Amino acid sequence: MYEQKQSIASLVADRLGVAADDVWMAIEYPPDPRLGDLALPCFRFAKTLRKAPPAIAADAAEVLRQSGLFARVDVAGGYVNVTLRRGPVAAGVIDQAQRDVAALFSRRRHTGRRAAVDYSSPNIAKPFGVGHLRSTMIGQSICRLLAADGFEVVGINHLGDWGTQFGKNIVAYLKWGDEETVRRDPVKELFRLYVRFHEEAKDKPELEDEARAWFKRLEDGDEEATRLWKWFIAESLKAFEQTYRRLGVRFDHYLGESFYNDKMDAVVDELRQRGLLTESEGAEVVDLSAWNMPPCIIRKSDGATIYATRDLAAALYRHDVLGATDLIYVVGAEQKLHFAQVFKVLELMGRDWAAHCHHIAFGMMKYNGERLSTRRGKVVYLEEVLERAVQEARAIIEEKNPGLPDKDRVAETVGIGAVVFNDLKNNRLHDVDFRWEDVLNFDGETGPYVQYTHARACSVLRRAEAEGVPVTSPPVLADEALADSEWQLVHQLAQSNESLERAVDGFDPSVMARHVLDVCHAFNRFYHDAPILGAEDDLRAFRLALTDATRRVLAHGLYLLGLEAPEAM
């Protein structure tokens, strides 16, 4: 609806003497389609224009009627209700989707900007649990949404590959592990040893001293400690890569915490030169009390740097070396204060680009209502979740469509789509309670439902091809020739651009998930209400083109969410 809203905004702005952007922002969709296709509430202009909203609405309606661009323009109190010319609008929307569906979604507002997106970021030697799905898939979708809106995107996996945990890993491995067992199943075995360390340390606190001593050796470059540390990383990455490939996730850089070890002294030196460091109980901190935040600890009393120092070094690297204009961090909501402190310190360091640093918080992943904890061994392995979902999809295919070609590939696509969509359809700030009965429910507002709707549209087009009926550009029909179900589907397709821009502006893939669901609902109503191949001439050509446009919009929407779009199910 971008062009139609633009026309209304331009005409009304000229008539009323207000900003076109203000008019654009005010335009909304009426709650009842019988009122019209678009509505302009005029209440916000009353104070500026010193007129009653109904009088403003009457002026706006008059100029819209005079333009001849709209089928009908009505005034209801302080509202202007606009009914569009169905035939030309429908033909334009469908033709755009057929020619370049990406352009239907995006005006590429951010061309020329580069976004560094930090997401997934699992800890080495710990399992890729179902809780990691949130950062990984929200981050992957945000990368695709930003790229669709014009950003050049740099995806970064900020691996947890440093810290005292590695002292614990080394101690546990040397006491209770063996190389062959670790190589067979590295992450699970290293995790088992890590959990055992914490259990044993309850009665043997001296283990904690051993772990600290081994991490100190690692920091000092000890050959044996370094060998084991590098081995843990290599084996963990092999396992992580298997999961990433299955999810269709890729990164431009794997830059773990250890990458910044030689870059933090420069940060501390600059903070000191700028007079930003103060001493607090032996530690060096940046005082943020003026902004109602606790001090940002830069160097602890024992001289060690911590997460804030490392994240400052990482931010400077991403901006100065990788050339990012925007820094995006897809990290859980519990880190809200940490990133607020880091961004404020960057600002105090004179980095005006700190205004383009964004913490994309998300809610917690629970399992049957309980919080997951790797330290206590309470983890649900993501690989097991994906495999179970794929097997469930395979069983449903065998039951409902046993002759389907390439069943294993479709089962993989649908099973993983079910898990991913179940997460992304939720507002990212909400907690997600992982329950098998929800994830593996293939009915209702689910990934398989969207994928099946896409496959249904593909099936119609295949039948048309088999009958020798070509899919062409849409003819322009008379307004009255379009059934309500056809028009409502066009109406949904036309909102693709607004949905993408809201998803980008809010860094929230659930907006796009909602859009593809709405398109599916509208298409399925149209599919049941309006004969497609059995229609006459121009109407058949129009409906086939509409089906083709829907297929393209659903495929692109699924891509933006990180899902595949099977052509048969």
DSSP string, 374-388: TTTTB--BHHHHHHH
Q: Are the CB atoms for 501 and 429 separated by under 8 Å?
A: no
Tokens representing 308?
């804030």
Region of poorest pLDDT, from 94-103, 345-354, 381-390, 499-508: 381-390
Counting Cα atoms < 13 Å in the Cβ hemisphere of 85 gives 17
Radius of gyration of the chain measured on its C-alpha atoms: 28
DSSP string, 127-177: --BTTHHHHHHHHHHHHHHHHHTT-EEEEEE--B--STHHHHHHHHHHHH-
Surface-to-core class of residue 368, CB atoms within 10 Å of its CB (0-12 exposed, 13-18 middle, 19+ buried): exposed
- Tell me, rounded to whole angstroms, the distance of Cα 26 from its chain centroid: 27
Q: What percent of the chain has pLDDT over 90?
A: 86
Query: Could you report the per-residue pLDDT of 537-565, keeping only the tens digit for each?
Result: 999 999 999 999 999 999 999 999 999 99
CA-CA distance, 367 to 434, in Å (whole number)?
A: 5
Q: Quick one: pLDDT at residue 128?
A: 85
Q: Is the pLDDT confidence value at 293 over 90?
A: yes
Mean of pLDDT values over 345-363: 97
Mean of pLDDT values over 53-77: 96
DSSP string, 259-317: GGGGGHHHHHHHHHHTT-EEEETTEEEE--GGGT---EEEE-TTS-B-HHHHHHHHHHH
Closest by CA to 93, choosing from 553, 556, 560, 566, is 553
Q: Quick one: pLDDT at residue 267?
A: 96
Per domain, the residue ranges of the chain are 2-84, 382-561
Q: What is the 3-state secondary structure (H, E, C) of 459-499?
A: HHHHHHHHCCCCCCCCCCCCHHHCCHHHHHHHHHHCCHHHH
Closest by CA to 137, choosing from 243, 278, 64, 54, is 243
Query: Could you report the per-residue pLDDT of 473-496, keeping only the tens digit for each?
Result: 999 999 999 999 999 999 999 999
Region of poorest pLDDT, from 200-204, 282-286, 382-386, 447-451: 382-386
C-alpha distances (whole Å) from 35 to each of 184, 292, 481, 494 are: 65, 49, 19, 18
pLDDT band for position 439 (cuts 50, 70, 90): confident
Q: Are the CB atoms for 308 and 296 separated by under 8 Å?
A: yes
Q: Are the CB atoms for 442 and 396 separated by under 8 Å?
A: yes
pLDDT band for position 127 (cuts 50, 70, 90): confident
Closest by CA to 164, choosing from 208, 125, 198, is 208
Q: Is the pLDDT confidence value at 259 over 60?
A: yes
Q: Are the CB atoms for 125 and 187 separated by under 8 Å?
A: yes
Surface-to-core class of residue 470, CB atoms within 10 Å of its CB (0-12 exposed, 13-18 middle, 19+ buried): exposed
pLDDT band for position 366 (cuts 50, 70, 90): confident
Q: Please check whether the domain covering 2-84 is classified as CATH 3.30.1360.70.
A: yes
Residue 321, C-beta contacts closer than 8 angstroms, at least 6 positions apart? none
Closest by CA to 313, choosing from 342, 338, 284, 286, is 342
In whole numbers, what is the pLDDT of the chain averaged over residues? 93
Is pLDDT larger for residue 384 or for residue 65? 65
Angle at 375 between CA 431 and CA 180, to 5 degrees: 125
User: CB 472: neighbour CB atoms within 10 A?
Assistant: 12
Q: Is the pLDDT confidence value at 343 over 80?
A: yes
CA-CA distance, 248 to 357, in Å (whole number)?
A: 26
Q: Quick one: pLDDT at residue 378?
A: 64
Counting Cα atoms < 13 Å in the Cβ hemisphere of 263 gives 20
CA-CA distance, 231 to 213, in Å (whole number)?
A: 19
Q: Quick one: pLDDT at residue 373?
A: 56
Closest by CA to 490, choosing from 84, 82, 35, 65, is 84
- What is the 8-class DSSP label of residue 255? -
Mean of pLDDT values over 197-204: 94
Mean of pLDDT values over 137-159: 98
Q: Quick one: pLDDT at residue 374?
A: 53
Q: Quick one: pLDDT at residue 306?
A: 82
Q: What percent of the chain has pLDDT over 70?
A: 98
Mean of pLDDT values over 62-80: 96
CA-CA distance, 16 to 518, in Å (whole number)?
A: 35
pLDDT band for position 381 (cuts 50, 70, 90): confident
Q: Are the CB atoms for 152 and 114 separated by under 8 Å?
A: yes
Homologous superfamily of 382-561: Isoleucyl-tRNA Synthetase; Domain 1 (1.10.730.10)
Return phi, psi of residue 466, to 5°.
-65, -30
Q: Quick one: pLDDT at residue 129?
A: 82
Q: Quick one: pLDDT at residue 324?
A: 98
pLDDT band for position 372 (cuts 50, 70, 90): low
Mean of pLDDT values over 401-429: 93
